[in-house]
């Protein structure tokens, strides 16, 4: 068996093992949730009523079953894409028509990404207009849903294609060390987007309005002054345009930073609870969580680009997927398609780190406000309104949850208050 065959079998095994693991974790989670479905968990009795808890169990089960079907379908699509020969056939056709320039290779990459998104559209539609609607979360229209996808595709083309063409051109300009230059360019682009996205991109999808004058605005501004958290503005986002789920976040750096509250969040929480949520977000800033996550992303990016550079020198890698050797675009494309099958296994590490940051931000909020009742109340309401899974299986949680569960956060807050 030649190295190309071994590589293709290894890639197929990686995809199938991840698929089996995803289904196994989902099955574990469903059984675990059902085992605790007879009554509200002891720490939350008197906090979450029985009908709401039963509804959250039903929502969790429905999402989990749907996710398993979607995972199976996307795995099948990926296997067919990688091993049917359609990619090298399309690449030969595309470059034969437009040539093998960096621009045409970038365009081929974009066309493949868009084509691969199409088989998932029925699942996206069902999730939004059937599953979410069934549980009272969907508020979007079919027109908005299609416009979101069209805008996303156009943005990907307008921003992604030139960036990818630049990366491919760097191979010609810089030779063996192209991956270092590519890393610097992509990292610079990501940092630029952190500043520009809140101003230029987010408003394409949502409407942002200043938080009206009044007690809530004064309360939040006072919190900002008390914590030396400088923000350009506090804005309300029309999240209810698409869903009844709620959230809050801040975007940008320095004087470009702004605080964003979903309008649904303002409708669900009392003023002290909104202050606690904002204090939590300020905690992320004060603990420098965003720069740390960007550093993690930068480290992952440089490792990935080095891996692509190494694979692009291996004839067996091209042979495994039917491509002619030497062109970087096919190697980069195959790497991106296989990326999730590999990084899935390190997601618990990233989620562990993310959950640790959430605990730290919670502790900061409690210390800043001098009490944890407001944050606890906010978390309870958010979990109730969003029908969150209160009893996920630990293994499933490790692979899928970037935030601790409600009971985990309450226990941590109780410890910090003593």
Q: Is residue 364 part of a domain?
A: no
Do 300 and 254 belong to one domain? Answer: no
Q: Is residue 63 part of a domain?
A: yes
* The domain boundary residue, chosen from 315, 340, 365: 340
* 307, 308, 312, 316 alpha-carbon torsion, rounded to 10°: 60
CA-based nearest residue to 105, from 329, 325, 309: 329
Calculate what percentage of the chain has a pLDDT beyond 90: 54
- Catalytic, 64? Answer no
- Verify that 69 and 116 share a domain, yes or no: yes
Q: Give strand ranges (E) for 157-309.
A: 208-210, 233-237, 248-251, 258-262
Does residue 176 share a domain with residue 31? yes
Within 312-416, residue ranges assigned H as helices are 315-321, 328-343, 347-369, 373-385, 394-400, 406-416
Positive or negative: CA dihedral 133, 137, 143, 147 = negative
Q: Does any domain span residue 134? A: yes
Residue span of the structural domain in which 252 resides: 206-268
243, β-bridge pairs: 138
Question: How high is the pLDDT of residue 400?
Answer: 93
Token duo for residue 364:
């900061």
Q: What is the SS3 assignment for 119?
A: helix
Looking at the fold, whether 14 and 120 belong to one and the same domain comes out as yes
Clarify whether residues 186 and 212 are in a common domain. Answer: no
Same domain, 223 and 128: no
Contacts of 286 (CB under 8 A, 6+ apart): 227, 229, 364
pLDDT per position as a tens digit, 321-355: 988 887 888 999 999 999 999 999 999 999 999 99
Q: Does 42 qualify as catalytic in the annotation? A: no
Helix, strand, or coil here: 99?
coil
Average pLDDT across the chain, whole number? 89
Instruction: Assess if residue 77 is contained within a domain.
Output: yes
Note whether residue 399 is domain-resident. no
Give residue for tokens 């868009």. 114
Task: Answer whether residue 237 is part of any domain.
Answer: yes
Starting from the edge strand earliest in sequence, which strands make up the sheet with 208-210, in order?
208-210, 233-237, 258-262, 248-251
pLDDT digits (tens, 9 = 90+) for 161-184: 999 999 999 988 998 899 999 999
Residue 390 maps to a domain: no
Residue 348 CA to residue 397 CA, distance in Å, equals 9
Confidence of residue 416 (pLDDT cuts 50, 70, 90): confident
Are 253 and 315 part of one and the same domain?
no
pLDDT at site 362: 95
247 with 190, same domain: the answer is no
In a domain, 356, yes or no: no
Average pLDDT over residues 307-322: 91
For residue 255, what is the domain's CATH number?
3.30.2010.10
90 and 143 housed in the same domain: yes
The one catalytic residue in 281, 327, 384, 410 is 281
Percent of the chain with pLDDT over 70: 97
Write the CB contacts of 76 (distance below 8 Å, at least 6 apart in sequence).
none
How many domains would you assign to the chain? 2
| 64 & 160 share domain | yes
Q: What is the pLDDT of residue 58?
A: 95
Residue where a domain terminates, one of 340, 362, 377: 340
Structure tokens, 258: 């702004």
Across the chain, which distance is largest between two alpha carbons, in Å? 73
Q: Are 96 and 226 contained in the same domain?
A: no
What's the predicted TM-score (pTM) here? 0.89
* 418 pLDDT above the threshold of 60: no
Answer with the one of 236, 268, 300 that is the final residue of a domain.
268
Using CA atoms, how far residue 169 sits from 96, 122, 343, 411, in Å, is 19, 36, 27, 53
Mean pLDDT to the nearest integer, 233-256 = 78
Q: Which of 275, 327, 358, 362 is catalytic?
A: 362
Indicate whether 167 and 223 sit together in one domain: no
What pLDDT digit, counting tens, does each position of 358-393 carry?
Answer: 999 999 999 999 999 999 999 999 888 899 999 999
């Amino acid at each position: 068996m030649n190295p190309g065959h071994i590589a293709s079998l290894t890639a197929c095994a990686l995809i199938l093992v991840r698929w089996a693991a995803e289904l196994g974790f989902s099955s574990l989670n469903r059984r675990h949730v059902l085992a605790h479905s007879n009554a509200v968990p002891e720490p939350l009795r008197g906090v979450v009523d029985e009908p709401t808890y039963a509804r959250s169990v039903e929502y969790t089960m429905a999402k989990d079953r749907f996710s398993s079907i979607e995972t199976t379908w996307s795995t099948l699509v990926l296997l067919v894409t990688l091993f049917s020969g359609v990619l090298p056939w399309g690449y030969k056709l595309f470059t034969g028509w437009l040539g093998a320039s960096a621009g045409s290779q970038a365009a081929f990459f974009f066309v493949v990404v868009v084509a691969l998104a199409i088989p998932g559209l029925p699942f996206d539609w069902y999730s939004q207009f059937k599953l979410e609607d069934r549980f009272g979360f969907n508020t979007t229209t079919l027109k908005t849903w299609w416009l979101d996808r069209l805008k996303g595709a156009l943005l990907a083309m307008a921003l992604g294609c030139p960036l990818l063409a630049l990366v491919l051109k760097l191979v010609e300009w810089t030779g063996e060390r192209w991956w270092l230059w590519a890393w610097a360019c992509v990292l610079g682009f990501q940092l630029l987007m952190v500043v520009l996205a809140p101003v230029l991109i987010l408003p394409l999808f949502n409407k942002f309005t200043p938080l009206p004058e009044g007690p809530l605005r004064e309360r939040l501004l006072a919190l900002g002054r008390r914590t030396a958290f400088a923000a350009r503005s506090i804005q309300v986002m029309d999240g209810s345009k698409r869903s009844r789920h709620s959230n809050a976040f801040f975007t940008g750096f320095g004087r470009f930073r702004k605080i964003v509250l979903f309008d649904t969040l303002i409708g669900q929480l009392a003023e002290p609870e909104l202050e606690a949520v904002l204090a939590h977000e300020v905690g992320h800033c004060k603990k420098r969580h965003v720069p740390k996550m960007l550093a993690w992303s930068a480290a992952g990016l440089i490792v990935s680009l080095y891996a692509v550079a190494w694979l692009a020198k291996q004839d067996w890698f091209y042979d495994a997927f039917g491509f002619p050797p030497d062109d970087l675009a096919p190697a980069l494309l195959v790497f991106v398609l296989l990326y999730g099958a590999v990084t899935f296994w390190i997601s618990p590490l990233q989620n562990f780190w993310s959950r640790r940051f959430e605990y730290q931000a919670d502790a900061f909020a409690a210390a800043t406000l001098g009490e944890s009742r407001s944050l606890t109340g906010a978390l309870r309401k958010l979990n109730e309104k969003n029908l969150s899974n209160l009893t996920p299986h630990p293994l499933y949680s490790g692979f899928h949850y970037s935030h601790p569960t409600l009971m985990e956060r309450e226990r941590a807050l109780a410890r910090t208050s003593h």
